[in-house]
Structure 1
């Protein structure tokens, strides 16, 4: 699609959302606010418009007006006009998930109900002179024809908004009569008393139906106005969300207020954007980053080094940044936030035109199962600077899989008939699969993995080891000085189906129960130092191979974070990619690497998250070696888009060699190439 034919929302965007506080309404100067957003690098603003409070003189019954609005002029109209003067697009933020308790007194049927029939009250114990907020039912008229649609009509017909965003649009567990009737209609049975027993797609179905209703109205009223919806790395049906909206956003919060033991994983923004990009031919997903270390601490900012690292992952993995700030610049008490957002947007602007329509060049795909096993593989792939995309089960068709050299299948994967047929054809055509853990007893799968049909699950093994087998074992690269690496967990006891299946690692069973592993040391020798129980098997099938770990490597990574487990994962990927590996970099703990292609140019992003999190200071990385396979192309120039400096390079045996002398937080290398 040419630039000229694109809608504004299909171009690169830098969004700032000042989360507005009603009591600060009289501090909003529309002209000044637009100028501030412009100076901070925004080309789009998300502004409160309706739902919980109307930020304009609404005529819709039960739509609570912000009582602090100025009487002398229409604040919403003025803000929109001033933003447009500054070439800033205006997205209207709406939130129909809750409303003031006054509506409940007249329309109690609109509200979500607990099992005992009581409504869901939000912030009942909140200090201060506030009315109560109550959760509305997603299937009620409030979120549809009674309030939401009339509000949309007022906004779309009365104001020149450029887009619509629904905050908190999701399903809240509800036992009201409306939900009971709908559940019976959809599933032919009663709504369970226990919310854990609700149908797996119930929440997504309710949200899809509600959003489809609102989306249809928007398009009938002003078809040029895009709608934006959330997707979630874990809970939502991504395909449902995509079918009922124009643009997608995700919110990988860095919630430090949960405490250090619960600190979000360093890859959360990266993986969230990868999931959104798995849908082809859609605008880059938004990554919403809150400036605060938690909603309970929303009036202060993240540590600057941590904040910059979190922000940088969004564009480096192919997303558009969406800053979420508590208040307007006058009310933001942590002024560091303003400087960081401004600096970051300047850097993002240097990169965005090169990244527009750029395509990932990952050679590895990870089946995303939204559980700890997939998390472990994602952790290892990112930590070891391996280029990868994520795929969902419904995306794992042969034509899609053939874009990748290797496919990682975590334990717990749903091996449907369609998926099994796809990966079988993929391997036969030359693909490489990596499979771990317990698998279904399916003859086709066992044959593909080169293992016997009989499988037995062990008890949870402690004090056990993985032993590398054979000379020059590719899985032992970088670990040549040790025969053993730590193992813990369950093992699937299996055997090679024939002599063609190669055994690369075996199990050393526990040498002691846990209560006696340390004393006395005189009895700490291995009871059995060698077995023929496989822990890594590799089998050829057609033109490709399957590598099977009959244990959970992802569990070891999640639980222990030992370097040898990361090295084993990296070696397994190297074995799958062989001599065709596209990109290699110096390994630094905390370094993230992504690569994209646009026309004949290549873009390599480097993001530095080195140090103990939450990052309190920036620890520069020095002398990062980048090696890129050129595949017959010649190099014209290599330069840093953010730093602005050209880089010296050399080409040896078809590989580009570049050294990045210093990396603070984020850099993007532009590699301009042509045909040799």
Structure 2
């Protein structure tokens, strides 16, 4: 898979004439060269349902009078650029109007995504309907007639559908079509059948041709859904609602799956379909570097104008990022991450459970990743299938009660010398309010006061000796075999119409409600949902509690220490014969209604790094500059200093 891809959207209404009228092979090639692009996803079929080539399985766009797809493939291949081909699988508005009986239907009647056809939007198809055969014929036609370098299928995933086809299937099996569990199980089978049929259709013509099924997200804990793909494309447009924390969370999970993967961002100021919207070149430089630092290749989303001419401003923008990336590729391919910590994803935990048991909190993963990035900890995001033996600490964030299979897995991890950090209700048994591991505490129950306060027994950078408010639900514990790291203190009373004080909540009474953070033989417990709290409120106290706990649990075995600021990102990859230390610095700012943008990239000076590595380092240099970098080995660690960098710097350590 290539490092420098463009995803060239082309969702084009039948109301627009002159489709492709300004396409030029020379101009198309000029744009790709200007953008340093070596792979471009081009369109066979868009969300509106039209083909962009002569078709017997579909209908060519009424405004197009030549084979645009074929011309794009020929032009790209002539200059050595690969061409995966896109087909909209889940949306086809042309056919939605002709065959509404093929659409996904929600429980409360009406079709999804919209209840009617009065709004300007697309409608979702059910793959348990005759639509699947219609789609398969289109895929087969492309694979047979065009030199595609892969197939990209969009708007797919497991659906819960109550259409006539799904209802009849359940009734034929003697199941209740109003039983949510039965509907969900059928949705799983329908999606599995779709991916199987697609693979078979492609392999009959071109065995092994890469295919990717895009659902906009790689669900943590559902490896079965990931492994139907030849590779993974992690859709994550920071300005499109994902934010800059989303991609590292997704990448740190998929990097252990053994699949090639790329990070998909966009050239847009906002999100897909924004004509005339551009982000600053520095933003793309940072986003492409962030992908590289997380072991990913890159894809940048663009949308082709209906007339087919490539926007050269877009490709100058893309070239600003891809020109730099091209120089770095030697140190980016075939790498594996180095990690001390395993974050057991809350989403993966939910996927692991067979039922709705467990308190699932979507903010827990986001808050944990943000803390770990800002603290420059080396970590992976893991699921119940991950091998934990390579980690020193496992984090159970906020809501992960312990079922027998998980207790067995974590028990083996503890026996191997690992330790656990748990918070909130994590670490309690699934079926009883008792800790499954020795955190030095005995569980009492939920604190009746919200919010309440934490008074730490340890010093914290940037904070002082006082009591700090925490807004999430507190859990009360007593000290058992371990030690307290700080106490929980309660307010005078909860805020009600009858009892309230000041503008928000009641002040700290100073009365202790027992330990708020404890340490035992198996690890450390924090009595608040600190990870989701950090995602929602961002208060420094939550992060400092977690950092103190992790530093205690890692002891002197922390692989990476650095003076890089909290907004910087540091990762460590291993390539054959060498380590690659990535240092990034770019600060997103909020614009408009909460859009995160990067505009300024300022030089960073005097960044010190200390690495504890299992191999002796023989040589260090900056990449891609290839400038030798002095280093010293002291106390079993390698130490060096990067005098200055802007945006992204790699340090290569050969062993």
- Coarse TM-score class (shorter-chain normalised): 0.7 to 0.9
Kept after mapping to 1: 8 A contact 2:268/2:274: no
Report deviation, 1:25.
Answer: 1.3
Report deviation, 1:160.
Answer: 1.4
* Structure 2 CA distance for partners of 1:187 and 1:82, relative to 1, 3 Å: farther
* Structure 2 CA distance for partners of 1:186 and 1:323, relative to 1, 3 Å: farther
Partner-residue secondary structure (3-state), 2:555: helix
User: Does residue 96 of structure 1 match 2:96?
Assistant: no
Counterpart position of 1:138:
127
Could you tell me how far apart the structure 2 residues matched to 1:102 and 1:173 are? 21
Report deviation, 1:435.
Answer: 0.5
Counterpart position of 2:612:
629
Compare 503-512 and 213-222 and name the one that shifted more.
Answer: 503-512
Could you tell me how far apart the structure 2 residues matched to 1:332 and 1:587 are? 43
Kept after mapping to 2: 8 A contact 1:329/1:338: no
Report deviation, 1:227.
Answer: 0.6
What TM-score results when the alignment is normalised by the length of structure 2? 0.86
Counterpart position of 2:25:
30
Counterpart position of 2:390:
403
Spell out the pairing of 1:598-613 with structure 2 (5 A cutoff): 598-610=575-587, 612-613=589-590
Could you tell me how far apart the structure 2 residues matched to 1:336 and 1:385 are? 36
Compare 486-495 and 597-606 and name the one that shifted more.
Answer: 486-495
Counterpart position of 1:527:
509
Report deviation, 1:430.
Answer: 0.5
Among 535, 538, 542, the residue aligned to 1:558: 535
User: Does residue 249 of structure 1 match 2:233?
Assistant: yes
Could you tell me how far apart the structure 2 residues matched to 1:453 and 1:636 are? 51
Report deviation, 1:661.
Answer: 2.7
- TM-superposition CA deviations, 1:251-275 (whole Å, max 9, x none): 112245xxxxxx6443111112222
Spell out the pairing of 1:423-434 with structure 2 (5 A cutoff): 423-434=410-421
Could you tell me how far apart the structure 2 residues matched to 1:229 and 1:134 are? 18
Q: Over the residues paired in the alignment, what is the CA RMSD in angstroms?
A: 3.2
Could you tell me how far apart the structure 2 residues matched to 1:562 and 1:317 are? 27
* Structure 2 CA distance for partners of 1:289 and 1:32, relative to 1, 3 Å: same
Counterpart position of 2:358:
none
Compare 300-309 and 313-322 and name the one that shifted more.
Answer: 300-309
Could you tell me how far apart the structure 2 residues matched to 1:49 and 1:668 are? 39
* Structure 2 CA distance for partners of 1:334 and 1:593, relative to 1, 3 Å: farther
Could you tell me how far apart the structure 2 residues matched to 1:329 and 1:352 are? 34
- TM-superposition CA deviations, 1:206-261 (whole Å, max 9, x none): 333212211121123211311112355575763232232211212112245xxxxx
Could you tell me how far apart the structure 2 residues matched to 1:270 and 1:454 are? 34
Report deviation, 1:184.
Answer: 4.5
Kept after mapping to 1: 8 A contact 2:407/2:436: no
Report deviation, 1:303.
Answer: 3.9
Partner-residue secondary structure (3-state), 2:491: coil
Partner-residue secondary structure (3-state), 1:461: coil
* Structure 2 CA distance for partners of 1:99 and 1:236, relative to 1, 3 Å: farther
Task: Show structure 2 runs of 5+ residues with no match.
Answer: 348-361, 591-596
Counterpart position of 1:665:
647
Spell out the pairing of 1:149-168 with structure 2 (5 A cutoff): 149-168=136-155
Could you tell me how far apart the structure 1 residues matched to 2:307 and 2:33 are? 15
Could you tell me how far apart the structure 2 residues matched to 1:308 and 1:460 are? 47
Kept after mapping to 1: 8 A contact 2:337/2:572: yes
Could you tell me how far apart the structure 1 residues matched to 2:220 and 2:394 are? 23
Counterpart position of 1:639:
622
Among 300, 307, 315, the residue aligned to 1:338: 315
Kept after mapping to 2: 8 A contact 1:299/1:333: no
Could you tell me how far apart the structure 2 residues matched to 1:46 and 1:95 are? 12
Kept after mapping to 2: 8 A contact 1:649/1:658: yes
Counterpart position of 1:581:
558
Counterpart position of 2:331:
354
Spell out the pairing of 1:115-514 with structure 2 (5 A cutoff): 134-142=123-131, 144-145=132-133, 147-170=134-157, 174-184=161-171, 188-191=175-178, 203-230=187-214, 232-233=216-217, 238-255=222-239, 264-279=242-257, 281-289=258-266, 291-295=268-272, 297-327=274-304, 337-370=314-347, 371-393=362-384, 395-396=385-386, 400-439=387-426, 440-441=428-429, 446=435, 448-451=437-440, 454-462=443-451, 464-469=452-457, 473=458, 476-478=459-461, 481-498=464-481, 501-511=482-492
User: Does residue 656 of structure 1 match 2:647?
Assistant: no
Kept after mapping to 2: 8 A contact 1:231/1:250: no
* Structure 2 CA distance for partners of 1:54 and 1:662, relative to 1, 3 Å: same
Task: Show structure 1 runs of 5+ residues with no match.
Answer: 1-8, 257-262
Could you tell me how far apart the structure 2 residues matched to 1:576 and 1:186 are? 53
Kept after mapping to 2: 8 A contact 1:249/1:286: yes
Could you tell me how far apart the structure 1 residues matched to 2:4 and 2:599 are? 26
Counterpart position of 1:50:
45
Compare 348-357 and 368-377 and name the one that shifted more.
Answer: 348-357
The aligned length equals 620
Kept after mapping to 2: 8 A contact 1:229/1:241: no
Counterpart position of 1:59:
56
Compare 37-46 and 646-655 and name the one that shifted more.
Answer: 646-655
Partner-residue secondary structure (3-state), 1:90: coil
* Structure 2 CA distance for partners of 1:358 and 1:328, relative to 1, 3 Å: farther
Counterpart position of 1:6:
none
Partner-residue secondary structure (3-state), 2:617: strand
Among 103, 111, 114, the residue aligned to 2:103: 111
Partner-residue secondary structure (3-state), 2:425: coil
Report deviation, 1:171.
Answer: 5.1
Among 509, 517, 520, the residue aligned to 1:539: 520
